[in-house]
Structure 1
Amino acid sequence: MQNFLRFALIYFVSAIAIVMVFRDDGVSIMGHLMSSSQVFFIVMGQFALGLALLAGLTTLVVGPKVMLGRARVVATAMIASMFIQAAFTLIKTSLPYIVPFYADPYFAQIDQALHFGQDPWVLTHALAESFAANQLVWVYVSVWGLPAMALPVIIAAIDGNTARVNRFLVLYVVGWVVLGNIIALAGMSAGPVYYDRLIGGDRFADLAPALVDSGLKATWIGNLQESLWNVYVERGQAIGSGISAFPSVHVAMAFVTALYMGERSRLLIPVGAVFVAAILFMSIYSGYHYAIDGYASIIVIGAAWAYMRRRATQAHGFQPAMA
């Protein structure tokens, strides 16, 4: 876990350097980040309080010595996670200043080619007519947000298998940093919901009224989409800001979470699969992402997980523990 913290600190310092080099007013940008970080720290503080209460109960079972050692690891994981989230949003908001948006037309074409000439968002809205799709908003936002932000903290608190913990810390970094920053920079795209505003024309003209008719525009997701656009136009900075569609960090972190659940118990595999499917569906339905954004994230995370599992098997001569 100490190496994870070291990486987080280096990542954060690198993010500050990127802001200073590529943004017009780096000092002001950092000020905006600090002023908007209060909500994030409140959420993480509430999560920490919940963990502390759980730790108190667990101490009665495993004893204070074991829990004291675990508490240090959990605290380290929480600090590292905070630095990673702060660094990620600094870099993500800065990406268009390094490489301007250029890839949206290509991803839109790929989506149509993969879905028999139809835009995937149209297919999701047609499917949504058969169930209350907007009820998935809380899954896309709140349920997803807990493991997405705090998976290192969770596994540090509940998992004594060091090899598995380290493997999923790497996957966590792959999801946020490799996919969310590095690969995102290589394929800079804004997503269908911003396509016409950035490029012009009416390629996705039907999407905006569809979001209104579905009721999604009036939800937290619709409000956030407008907020992200305003921060982009104003060249500002806030916690969670930044527009970048390819690849989908939402789907990536959902898949990392599902893989962890599957390694802990085969009984959790169906739950994890439903979770990933719900996040993939909502990422397309909301207009945030092209379908290829989610597919690419699943391929990269799946390949990284399979590679590390195979390395663990070759090194130890057995399959990594499932519990």
Structure 2
Amino acid sequence: MVEEGAPSPVVEERASRDHDVAPVRAFWERLGLPGLVDVHTHFLPPPIERAVYAVFDAAGPKIGRPWPIRYRAPLEERVALLRAMGVRAFPTLPYAHKPGVAGFLNEWARGFARDVPESLWSGTFFPEPEAGAYVADLVGDGIAVFKVHVQVGEFHLDDRLLDPVWGVLEDAGTPVVVHAGSGPVANAFTGPEPMRAVLERFPRLAVVVAHMGAPEYDGFFALAERFERVRLDTTMVFTDFFDEAAGRFPDHLVPALRDLGGKILLGTDFPTIPYPYAHQLESLERLGLGDDWLRAVCWDNGAELFGVGVGG
């Protein structure tokens, strides 16, 4: 029962939503952009999503610290919030954590992309004998992007079972978002060396390095400088929370952000972030790299990579 004089839950929910929406829209409207292209968001099948949320809630060894999820809401509400904020394109980025699960994730993501026009059709794969075949089928069907997470999946990027996958993706130019950095917690599979080994054999791969490779920024920036199609996403980097969780972005690499401006893409990790969506944008702005840099990162680069038009 709502106490007399207290705001109703509906009013409180609307106020909270407006509080999140207004600063995001103000950011891109000031820059004269048609909205945002966010290349790193997650939508997962409900049972897997619940399992992922439980890992964050437990703050266990794979997370390493308390990590409250700000945007824990039903799928439809999260999509509506991104639309209200003006995010014109966003992926689902499923990631397989063991053999045999990629097919289920890929079929669910296919349906999501069919139902949500702004969605960048996403898929995943795992080092297993059939990976080359199902990735080739998805590429042939027009999938937009893949995601792999070596910290969670506990596999090496240079596993030879993935060679057919890398060959297909290199030939097609289909991007793959790769979480290979050791943040938030390192294991035997993280770090830049396995990615370097893959790129030396498949140098035209279109790789988007998640979280800019944090905390091994230097190693992953070197790959972006060396390989034409390697890009970096901003996901959580420069935020106050991530500075504490994964280490502060090194000052000596700030000039490289400008030099690699065409290869830097906005990413946020929505919904599993512990702060307002706008904080990621504010964190980019306070770098002081200028409005043209922000326009490229928040719209131009992602729109070009994924063929996003003003209509979305």
The one of the two structures with greater contact order (alpha-carbon pairs below 8 A, sep at least 6) is: 1
Q: Which has the larger radius of gyration?
A: 1
Task: Decide which structure has greater helix share.
Answer: 1
- State if a TM-score over 0.5 links the two structures: no
TM-score by length of 2: 0.25
TM-score by length of 1: 0.24
